[in-house]
Structure 1
């Protein structure tokens, strides 16, 4: 007993630490031009958005991603109630983002509310189209993976499908102007699956990410229809131009264009505003920084005499 008592926690002046942390927060808020007046949370909540996403997945796929006790005879009732709940929660989060950005955009409360209502309304109207797109993604995964036994297995188990559900929701919000919420939604999927898709990326129907861990798709990437990529593929930027003040220029097209029916195998890196032509195949672990013509087949495989095959750049030059 005496030995146990001798292991008491060290004495800490908690009050002093709290005071120092308050001073640090005050200095940060002053440097950022933020109000020092007491008030509530000013930014969207990742936790609330995670709950919204759970509800939206159930709305989109009620009998597979909805509650386990759900029955088909009350499916529409569940979808209606859950959608209403999700949209109310989403509206509050959109308003927080717009109020945060209103300090720089000089928007008044009425403008913030009007934009919030517009974003949430247009997002809700987009949900049937999102569901149709996701159906093509699920079918692409099922037909593209010989290990898949059913479309239900794909929807329930595949991290690529989980990530693309989040992306299609996030991309819609991004396009409507709720860019911070969109980024939070994409980062929730990133943390859960290891697949990092920026919500600004434009992705066509029938998209399949096999395995998925380590995939990175940049903000201005465009991906056509029926594209298949594997784990550790990067569709990234080659360089980051600076403005006259030495700051990174934002929003410039800097990521690849991937045309229809392209396959990119594991570990390949495609950088810059290059175009991978329709039906091309990019082999594993290639580093591609130039346009690839339609139908090309790039590979690093070795021949039977162990002579390395040409590099991607050499193959293109040939």
Structure 2
């Protein structure tokens, strides 16, 4: 009986001088055909049913690597010359940008088609024109790029004006994690509001992994947004952030509680995250929970826990901790001389 195809390329260690290696190394490599076949059957058994973590006998899902590649291409358009991947000059800029846009259009349309096909399978649709929808949403994203670029100009300016350590706009674009996270978010948001499945979350989680800043693609963010330092920032799906808002590391704009149905399952949807109005500053490790409003010009101090609305122009702070100061005593060591 011939071996299954998955076994034909299996690397089974060969015997040398009548022996299959020796000691611990041999035991680690001793994956026999019988053991491999048994293992494959055990794993395939777990694919029975539709648990959501296997996707068999259906159109391919969007490819994460392809989507990350699309983001890299879009960054070439949003920040020309800053990535260093392409030399951009005044004489070739139209050619370079045109070439990138054509590539993004083709690749994004394919990935969006896959995302729509996934949605059709889940919703059991029969008449969806997934390919046409993919081309349309890719074109709509490209049309939004001039507006995204204008917003990113304001974000970079806000970072430059808000951080005394910033030396130049170029330094901010190249090195500041907040610009990466915000730029990815502004792209993902355009796809999210057009109800493209999967791809916006793939993009936002890529930025989260890379920067430590977690912004759900559904969050609505205004102009001139600055996240200082950035590590540990969480901005939930239904958050609304106005213009000229500055937040520091560790800030959470989260949900206070989740309503549940009669079976105890979370009811999804609905406004459950804060609204931050214009000109608000939120300092490090502040936690703001629920569908509350932080009024225009308010200041939320560090390490605060806020679950009620704050009026415009109000400063919120927590009591100063009781600090204990103790003088360090220098310890002296006595030595005994041996006789």
Kept in 1: contact 2:216–2:237 (CA 8 A): yes
| Equivalence for 1:17 | 39
| Equivalence for 2:314 | 296
Gaps of 5+ in 2: 1-18, 324-339
* 1:128 lines up with 2:146 in the alignment: yes
Distance 1:45 1:279 in 2: 43
Q: Rate the CA distance shift 1:171–1:35 in 2: closer, same or farther, 3 A.
A: closer
Cα displacement string for residues 206-238 of structure 1 (whole angstroms, at most 9, x for unaligned residues): 000010000000000000000000000000000
| Stretch deviating more after TM superposition (245-254 or 60-69) | 60-69
Aligned partner of residue 311 in structure 2, secondary structure: coil
Equivalent residue for 1:98, pick from 116, 130, 134 = 116
* 1:6 lines up with 2:28 in the alignment: no
| Equivalence for 1:311 | none
Gaps of 5+ in 1: 307-318
Q: CA RMSD in A?
A: 2.4
Aligned partner of residue 285 in structure 1, secondary structure: coil
Equivalent residue for 2:208, pick from 190, 195, 199 = 190
Distance 1:107 1:115 in 2: 14
Distance 1:183 1:33 in 2: 16
- How much does 1:42 deviate? 2.1
Equivalent residue for 1:160, pick from 172, 178, 182 = 178
* 1:237 lines up with 2:259 in the alignment: no
Aligned partner of residue 235 in structure 1, secondary structure: strand
Q: Of Structure 1 and Structure 2, which has the larger fraction of its residues in helix?
A: 1
The count of residues paired between Structure 1 and Structure 2 equals 301
The TM-score with structure 1 as length reference comes to 0.88
Kept in 1: contact 2:109–2:131 (CA 8 A): no
Aligned partner of residue 62 in structure 1, secondary structure: coil
The TM-score with structure 2 as length reference comes to 0.83
How is 1:145-156 mapped onto 2 (pairs within 5 angstroms)?
145-156=163-174
| Equivalence for 2:102 | 84
- How much does 1:246 deviate? 2.6
Cα displacement string for residues 86-135 of structure 1 (whole angstroms, at most 9, x for unaligned residues): 12111111111100111244444652223222211211111110111111
Kept in 1: contact 2:120–2:128 (CA 8 A): no
| Stretch deviating more after TM superposition (293-302 or 66-75) | 66-75
Distance 2:196 2:266 in 1: 22
Aligned partner of residue 253 in structure 2, secondary structure: strand
- How much does 1:69 deviate? 3.3
| Equivalence for 1:47 | 65
